[in-house]
Amino acid sequence: MAVSVATVLVMMGQGILGPVLPLFARELGFGATAAGAAVGAFALARLLFNVPLGALSDTRGRRLLIVGGPLVVAVGMAGSGLANGIFTLVLWRFVAGLGSSMYMTGSLAYLIDIATPSNRTRVLAVNQGALLVGVTVGPSVGGVVAAEFGLRAPFFVVAAASLVAAVYGYFRMPETLTRRAPDGLRARSRTWAGLVGLRSAPFIAIAFANFAFFLNRGTAPQTLMPLVAVDDLGMSVDQVGLLLGAMALMSLLFLPLASSVADRWGRAQVIVPSLGLTAVSLLVVGLATGIGVFVAGSLLLGFASAIAGPAPAAYAAEVSSEEERGLAMGAFRTAGDLGLLLGPPLLGAVADGVGFPWAFGIDALFVALAAVALGVVALGGTRGSVGQG
């Protein structure tokens, strides 16, 4: 699928910077706080622009974002590679985040346009698999490029990959928005009040679920678990890397099965158990006092996360109208980005203040509340709670 090729290029580009960005900030004479600001600027741009860009895709089409997004990423990455201070680095990272928001919002709406209700989750799964491949391969490529050519080189590699993605999208991805929004909808779409999903209980429930999924993704495996594993359980850094890699591999391996089950039996029917099992596994990890239980809980967490796959995005598409689908996808993505932005610092502060078990417990609480909310909506027979196969 054409959009998946572009996704591999764009996401591999983002992954390349994983091992490079903190070191580059240090080369400029700044520490971890500055590196965090550079990462945060990227996330902040996505948070601010997901919704207006979703509205734009409903009025101007998907190709504008799919082709234009990688072009903006290329500019932001090239500017980052030329930065000579933290202010300019943060500024260009914000530009790159805008481009990422453009591409991801446009490509999600594009895929939903070309899918049918009976195969929507599987179509989204192909692109999610491409995303996972890009993120997995990227860091290794970035480390090699930085070692051979210096810390600025990976930024230019990302810029080049983004340009290729833009050209590829221009020639291979036709416009899929067949019905342009009427003038009245265009006016309403420019405001939060125009979001049809915010007046819909199913959309509110799935947006909260996406918030909980991303809050957990940024908090447990990326922030809390490495610290507990090394400091409290005595695991080595390479052992932690292998464990996190195994969790990520589960997502990739179970993606086809999870997507097929969601299309056959219903999106909510896999999302709710995924959330419930995630909450249980977080409690196991948080209360673990030995390596064996910690590893078992971690693998259970990886499996629980893999169950949902791309079903949340498919559910969000089904409970939003076709005319406002791009806008709704922007709001759906914003809920996830908000969880990713807030979770790590807030629960990290809880861990520092009252201990890691409390941080894992609060993480589990958010996930469990999302499971209950979506379960109540789905069991009420609302639209999107059953499969379309």
Task: Please give, one letter per residue, the 3-state secondary structure of 61-105.
Answer: CCHHHHHHHHHHHHHHHHHHHCCCCHHHHHHHHHHHHHHHHHHHH
Tell me, yes or no, whether 70 lies in a domain. Answer: yes
The residue among 254 and 160 whose pLDDT is bigger is 160
CB-CB contact of 195 with 320 (8 Å): no
Kindly state whether residues 110 and 202 are assigned to the same domain.
Answer: no
Tell me, yes or no, whether 384 lies in a domain. Answer: no
The most confident of the ranges 56-65, 111-120, 240-249 is 56-65
Q: Which run of H or E residues covers position 313?
A: helix 311-318
Distances 194 to 54, 189, 286, 302, 328 between C-alpha atoms, Å: 12, 5, 41, 37, 10
CATH assignment at residue 327 = 1.20.1250.20
Q: Which residues, in sequence order, are CB contacts of 167 under 8 Å at separation 6+? A: none
Kindly state whether residues 201 and 155 are assigned to the same domain.
Answer: no
Domain limit, last residue, from 194, 215, 233:
194
d(CA 9, CA 29): 30
Lowest mean per-residue pLDDT among 14-18, 25-29, 94-98, 172-176 = 14-18
Tell me, yes or no, whether 90 lies in a domain. Answer: yes
Average pLDDT taken over every residue of the chain: 81
Mean pLDDT of 58-64: 87
- 277: which 2 tokens? 């099992």
Tell me, yes or no, whether 55 lies in a domain. Answer: yes
Which pLDDT belongs to residue 252? 75
Kindly state whether residues 98 and 174 are assigned to the same domain.
Answer: yes
- 156: which 2 tokens? 């230019």
Residue 380 pLDDT exceeds 70: no
Residue 198 pLDDT exceeds 70: no
Tell me, yes or no, whether 109 lies in a domain. Answer: yes
Counting every residue written for the chain, the total comes to 389
Residue 302 pLDDT exceeds 60: yes
Kindly state whether residues 298 and 335 are assigned to the same domain.
Answer: yes
The boundaries of the domain holding residue 16 are 2-194
What's the predicted TM-score (pTM) here?
0.74
d(CA 376, CA 274): 15
Which pLDDT belongs to residue 15? 64
CB-CB contact of 262 with 121 (8 Å): yes
Residue with tokens 């050209």: 167
Q: What residue type is 187 in one-letter code?
A: A
Kindly state whether residues 76 and 127 are assigned to the same domain.
Answer: yes
Residue 184 pLDDT exceeds 60: no
Lowest mean per-residue pLDDT among 67-81, 121-135, 307-321 = 121-135
Kindly state whether residues 103 and 240 are assigned to the same domain.
Answer: no
Q: What is the DSSP letter of 276?
A: H
Domain limit, last residue, from 143, 169, 194:
194
Tell me, yes or no, whether 389 lies in a domain. Answer: no
Kindly state whether residues 147 and 275 are assigned to the same domain.
Answer: no
Per-residue pLDDT reduced to its tens digit, 7-46? 777 777 666 665 576 667 777 887 656 666 776 788 788 8
Mean pLDDT of 120-132: 73
Domain count, the chain: 2
Tell me, yes or no, whether 324 lies in a domain. Answer: yes
The residue among 193 and 27 whose pLDDT is bigger is 27
The most confident of the ranges 40-54, 244-258, 272-286 is 272-286
The span from the first CA to the last CA of the chain, in angstroms, equals 22
The residue among 82 and 59 whose pLDDT is bigger is 82
Which pLDDT belongs to residue 205? 93
Kindly state whether residues 337 and 227 are assigned to the same domain.
Answer: yes
User: What is the DSSP track for 14-67?
Assistant: HHHTTTTHHHHHHHTT--HHHHHHHHHHHHHHHHHHHHHHHHHHHHH-SHHHHH
Domain limit, last residue, from 168, 194, 220:
194
Kindly state whether residues 121 and 183 are assigned to the same domain.
Answer: yes
Distances 327 to 55, 208, 315, 379 between C-alpha atoms, Å: 4, 16, 15, 26
Which pLDDT belongs to residue 139? 62
d(CA 207, CA 212): 9
339, burial (CB in 10 Å: exposed 0-12, middle 13-18, buried 19+) = buried
Sign of CA dihedral 47, 353, 235, 305: negative
d(CA 374, CA 292): 33
Kindly state whether residues 17 and 116 are assigned to the same domain.
Answer: yes
d(CA 325, CA 318): 9
Lowest mean per-residue pLDDT among 111-125, 182-196, 199-213, 245-259 = 182-196
Tell me, yes or no, whether 67 lies in a domain. Answer: yes
Kindly state whether residues 99 and 21 are assigned to the same domain.
Answer: yes
Kindly state whether residues 211 and 353 are assigned to the same domain.
Answer: yes
Mean pLDDT of 122-136: 72
Q: Which run of H or E residues covers position 143?
A: helix 120-149
